[in-house]
Structure 1
Amino acid sequence: MRPGLEGYGRTDGGPRSPERAAVVAGLGAAVPETVVTNDDLARVLDTDDAWIRRRTGIRRRRAVAPGQATGDLAVEAARNALASAGAGGAGAVVLATSTPDQLCPATAPNVASRIGLGPVPAFDVQAVCTGFVYALASGAGLISLGVVDSVLVIGADAFSTLLDPEDRATRVVFGDGAGAVLLRAGSRTERGALLDFSLGSDGSAEDLIGMRAGGSRQRSTGLPAKVEDTYFSMQGQAVFKQAVSRMTESARDIAARTGWAVEEVDSFVFHQANARILTAVARRLGLPVERFRTNIAEVGNTVSASIPLALVDATARGELTPGQKVVLTGFGGGLTWGSTALVWPGPDPLLSELSTDAGDFLPKYR
């Protein structure tokens, strides 16, 4: 265990302070072993590799094996985040997911138990593809208020379990995976501190992204669900426009709240929804697309896992370096959107291990 991390399992927290902040201390990732290539999908759908790449920028994605669930991926990613920080535990678990192991109870308490954290606070956050940013805000709040000294924030989804096997529009886009960040108590002046948040929603557009069956509204009718309502659906063109607009606005807002000009931001790590969306946002912000970190080609849209997976990948490839100004932005069903900002941490053991020898902390997608 590294010096200064011995108390990471505490749940009694520390004193409240306006300077107390949540600081990124560890990163972890996990993806299922099963690889689904564009050619695999072309054998069962009316599509081909060229069409999928042109429309989405995706080459392959991962899918859970029979019997494998979101919680399994979350546990692996969380353990890797703890290992990357050399930490013996965490004071709380916040799990962002839209595919919990079951509707009730939440998945986070079981994840905390399987990791061996004991009776720590643990709960789920459901904000679809913005879930990880909302979960970061929740974890940062627990730390800033002195409730706990550390939080495991996990984004995990097994979205392949919600897709209509005959729906080309959704099957080519989504993949399964999990990413985790260990937050520790620290100061706002430290590198790695989450400096502020910009969050929003628009429930009037909830029909653009979602799954109608399974909730209390459908069940209360007493009627069987329509087959099409048991699968995830998305109105692609409308979602594209909303995603570009909302993520652009959110990135600008968090930069302003942090006191940065958008042009000063070195790296943007956005929800990996679609390569064309990232390009459109970059154009609206007037910035080179090279500043936008992406791994969508290898894992697809992994919903709440997409931002932490992209963080791990970009760190391991040396695209995120100590001292960079970084903005994280998500957009998802609800509609929901949100951003946070930080100065990338290091130099420290976390960065040196991930950037030189990623080991088990990285998904094996190469």
Structure 2
Amino acid sequence: MRAALFLGFASMLIMAAAPADARRFAPLDLAVRTAMTKTGARGLAITVIERGKPVFVRTYGARNASGAPLDPNTIMYGASITKAVFAYTVMQLVDEEKIDLDRPLATYLAKPLPDYGNLDDYGNWGDLAGDDRWHRITARMVLTHSTGFANFSFLEPDGKLRFHFDPGTRYAYSGEGMMLLQFVIEKGLGLDLSAEMQRRVFDRFGMTNTSLKWRPDFARNLADGWTAVGSVEPHDERSLVRAAGSMDTTIADVARFAAGFMRGDGLSAKRRAEMIRPQLPITTRSQFPSLQPEAAPADRWAGLAAGLGVITFAGPQGPGFFKGGHNDSTANTWVCVKNTSRCVVILSNDVRAENQFPAIVRAALGETGAPWGWEYGLPAN
């Protein structure tokens, strides 16, 4: 019965964009089709959220090289949008006083962080022996990407985890930091992150086709990906739960999450506001490489800051926030305007589509002021 209700809801999402709204969303539909023609992208899924409701859910193109169509229930890689969903989960723990955003994470652990050694499932904590700055890291620093770590230690020349700056002093994107917070939740609080996110997020919103870990039933309707050179990359069957980015999902499920988040479901008003307020100014010309030097003040993006698990910005429609996701064959983005409670989420199984995300978002929401140049490495404007 419950599954049937969820399937019915998915159908309603699709129907909502059919005859009544066809004309209203015709410019967006044209923008997506134009973007795919320009880039050669093979597959894309999109939803528009207005005042806590999905009003448009549509898919375009193929999910694999055989040409099987992408549909609203096709399993796609969530990539780093996982981090925003993780942050939402963490803020529930903050609401319940299980975690304090500003309490050092080390105080939740039974022994010093480096004593846990290097753990394949989490991180190379043993590499931090001799540098006591790990004592300072808090959940807020993790969620604002200000731990001082590289994105991942395997990107370091010697593969070792180290601090590049004092924790909390600047923004530098770090999946490794997210994994530290997951480690503390699991080993310090004794919680199973996969079970917590299932209960707190996926079950709450009826996200029946979403998981942090591969499920065999996903194979029935699965999206492979296309790389920048147009080669096919099979979908990765991720066996490890990774707060930094292991989530598989669908556009129908992401629509449910984004709508619920905008309604304020599951969080106190205070914690939701904390997630999307500017926490830490961002001082680099672009997001990547993550450890680039800070830019001169005149070359920084005005109004750009880290929220908790998202990036906040100031635009012509007022404040907004966004979160991207990317790998060699995936391009995702979630962009919201706070004052109008309008959002767009794009999931693409073809990384080439990313080049046209600014045009698609503009067609969906108007000019938001989202910092595409910072996100994708273009000059400040």
After TM superposition, the score normalised by the length of structure 1 is 0.28
Return the structure number with greater strand share.
1
After TM superposition, the score normalised by the length of structure 2 is 0.27
